[in-house]
Structure 1
Amino acid sequence: MNAPAVALLDEPAARFLGDLPLWDADCEDLLVCRQVRVETHDVKTFVFQSRSPSLFRYFPGQFLTLDLEIGGEIVNRCYTISSAPTRPGTVSITVKRVPGGPASNWLHDNLRAGDMVRAVGPMGEFTCLDHPAPKYLFLSGGSGITPLMSMARTFHDLAEPRDIVFVHNARSPADIIFRQELELIAKNAPSFRFAPVCETDGSGERWHGLHGRLGLDMLRLIAPDFAERTIFTCGPAPYMAAVRAMLGQAGFDMARYHEESFSFEDLSPAVVEEVLEQEAPATKTFRVEFAKSKRVVECPADVPILTAARTAGMRLPSSCTKGMCGTCKSKKLSGEVAMTHQGGIRQREVDQGMILICCAKPLSDLVIDR
């Protein structure tokens, strides 16, 4: 017997059964935290819904940028979506606590069910949907598992008979994020194989699986046909560098290799100087003053402000360097810039004088609130 319509109106889950609009951060950027899940001793998942009934549309592998108020200042951080777009009623991020990291520690220590945060997105170009293939190899290290988990969950929800080998590298068994769920997906889908690799035994569990760090011999053991697969990789920068070197040694066709990371290291002064020489042959330069730090740098007209600041030895918050994530968002107190971004800033923020210094170039002398 069908439930009466009146009863459905009283049921929170029923609000997702009808036709609902898509969540649009430009119209309503507040998200409500509905649940906090403990994944490991230093990893938590935060599940969000929009304040009014709406659905989330994104590609598996994309990210959100959160605007967090910490210590009286707004801190922007980008986090990959770990949930699957096949379950559009909520959206989740999975965050590892980083020693000394202001954003990750604030989230772990403060964000609770019922709290609200501001978010921009979804954004990003790291997605398997842009590179369809019959066979995939997912390689993740630590919290880099999140975009690949979104991809795995999506294929699983759709019952896609896609041949996927998912290799995850962790310190110990206790550090394997999403371990039980990935084992369940492997049980449900014969074409999905999960291969966790641990560096050491755990304090409460002796590890009987693959030990050590991923190398070419181990990869050939796990996926002998890896040369035929399309590879997606995410993890710390040293991990991805090791993967690239390993695949280069094996003669892998890097046109089928894709990687993502939000732990970008600062460019060395020599590299930045080379960028400056290549990008800014024009002689005209402008004075850029950073009001809080009292630093002043000279920035050529054809060079992003962030690049010039790095050349001068400044360390400023940044991540994607492509105008996507919003991490380098700054208040322009005076002056004019030319800025071409990829969604990392709202139009109303631009109208209020905010800029992304990674993709903003000076048109005049500037004063920036940094």
Structure 2
Amino acid sequence: MNDLSPVPPQAIWKDAEMLECVSVIPEMADTATFTFSAPSGALFDFQPGQFLTLELPVPGGTVHRTYTVSSSPSRPRSLSITAKAQKDSIGTRWMLDHLAPGVRIRAIGPAGQFSHLNHAADKYLFISAGTGITPMMSMTTWMFDLGVEPDVVFINCAQRPSTILFRERLEHMASRVPGIDLKWVVDAPDRYAPWTGCQGRFNQLMLGLVAPDYLEREVFCCGPEPFMQAVRDALFGLGYDMDRYHQESFHEPAVTQADVPELDDITPEAEAKAEVCFARSDRRVACAETDTVLAATRAAGLNIPSGCTFGVCGTCKVQKLSGEVHMVHNGGISEDDIADGYILACCSHPIGSVTIDV
């Protein structure tokens, strides 16, 4: 006679139980994916995009390091984190040197608010750089495993094609599900390997090309702070509703909704008054913060040579002598020029009083 009694539910892992490392997969230089299981056989239950804090017994005493879970809760028998060691890394360097199958460590979590499950939408846009791809990997795997076609544009920026984490796995999923639209952006191609994707600094032009319906999408962003700042600037400058923008910091992931920081970026406001002063011409003109320096210059009856008016060609580069501007360019000016005080007049908005060498 068949036993038709119900199967008892399997226990869910709690962080009172240690994790056991079951595999270490090298991804690239100083980067590896560490997979853990619960010695008791318990399953892992968390939201895709959440993080885990590991207690690492480094020389000199235990340290706590936080890593986003790169696996998906749709595959609950194991849990993975993917970590890259920087030059000054202590915890991640110990993991690369000592964490091996059979080693057990303590962990706290999972926790965090950075998950698409907290922000239901019909369309998503994931933008990441470097190891900021890990929460996007977890969320995309969850969508793939549901078996229904999602609608997500997945943008990842890396130094070179060979440094794109999870590239093969993501391309495999995208080859099976048309609703996963992958877009790679690299600083430079690998030697002897032609690259036909996007290349250069991520900017508004790239965004419009790879995700033309970005205004309709819920945006999730993760990466170094300068990268996330550039993404925020690009979206704001294009009129995106920033209430639908969500980001996760490398260093300070939010444990609860109350911990999610308010973004206090300096952004131009139509009601705010500004002024552009012209040092050589001894003139000044009042304007709004949403006006560009180029528009204010023309209103003053002066001329700055210009071309594209979109921060690409660099024709309107002028030196800022004092004051602050909000500039969102698309590659038309170098970081060295910015450090020397130069701006592109076509895409710079005065914040308060600004003096330029015109």
Same fold (TM over 0.5): yes
Tell me the CA shift for residue 204 of structure 1.
5.3
Whether contact under 8 Å (2:54, 2:65) holds in the other structure is yes
After TM superposition, list the pairs within 5 Å mapping 1:100-139 onto structure 2.
100-139=88-127
- Shift of the 323–60 alpha-carbon distance from structure 1 to 2, 3 Å rule, reads closer
- Shift of the 131–155 alpha-carbon distance from structure 1 to 2, 3 Å rule, reads same
Structure 2 counterpart of 1:224, from 178, 195, 212: 212
Q: Distance in 2 between matches of 1:126 and 1:133?
A: 14
Q: Distance in 1 between matches of 2:80 and 2:186?
A: 26
Partner of 1:78: 66
Q: What's the TM-score, normalizing by structure 1? A: 0.66
Structure 2 counterpart of 1:92, from 75, 80, 89: 80
In structure 2, runs of 5+ residues without a counterpart are: 261-358
Structure 2 counterpart of 1:175, from 163, 178, 188: 163
Q: Distance in 2 between matches of 1:191 and 1:140?
A: 18
Partner of 2:289: none
- Shift of the 247–192 alpha-carbon distance from structure 1 to 2, 3 Å rule, reads same
After TM superposition, list the pairs within 5 Å mapping 1:288-303 onto structure 2.
none
Partner of 1:20: 10
After TM superposition, list the pairs within 5 Å mapping 1:165-204 onto structure 2.
165-203=153-191
- Shift of the 194–102 alpha-carbon distance from structure 1 to 2, 3 Å rule, reads same
Partner of 1:146: 134
Give the total of aligned pairs. 254
Whether contact under 8 Å (2:33, 2:82) holds in the other structure is yes
Partner of 2:316: none
Amino acid at match of 2:190: G
**Paired residue secondary structure (1:92):** strand
Tell me the CA shift for residue 109 of structure 1.
1.4
Partner of 1:234: 222
Tell me the CA shift for residue 41 of structure 1.
2.3
Tell me the CA shift for residue 18 of structure 1.
6.8
Q: Distance in 2 between matches of 1:247 and 1:159?
A: 31
Whether contact under 8 Å (2:221, 2:246) holds in the other structure is yes
Give CA deviations for 1:176-233 in whole Å, capped at 9, x if unaligned: 0000011111111111101111111124533221111211111111010001100000
Partner of 1:53: 41
**Paired residue secondary structure (2:48):** coil
Q: Distance in 2 between matches of 1:53 and 1:147?
A: 25
**Paired residue secondary structure (2:109):** strand
Runs of 4+ displaced beyond 6 Å: none
* The structure with more radius of gyration: 2
Partner of 1:243: 231
Tell me the CA shift for residue 98 of structure 1.
1.0
Structure 2 counterpart of 1:41, from 16, 21, 29: 29
Whether contact under 8 Å (1:81, 1:91) holds in the other structure is yes
Root mean square deviation of aligned Cα? 2.0
Share of identical aligned residues, percent? Answer: 42
Whether contact under 8 Å (1:82, 1:92) holds in the other structure is yes
After TM superposition, list the pairs within 5 Å mapping 1:287-366 onto structure 2.
319-320=252-253
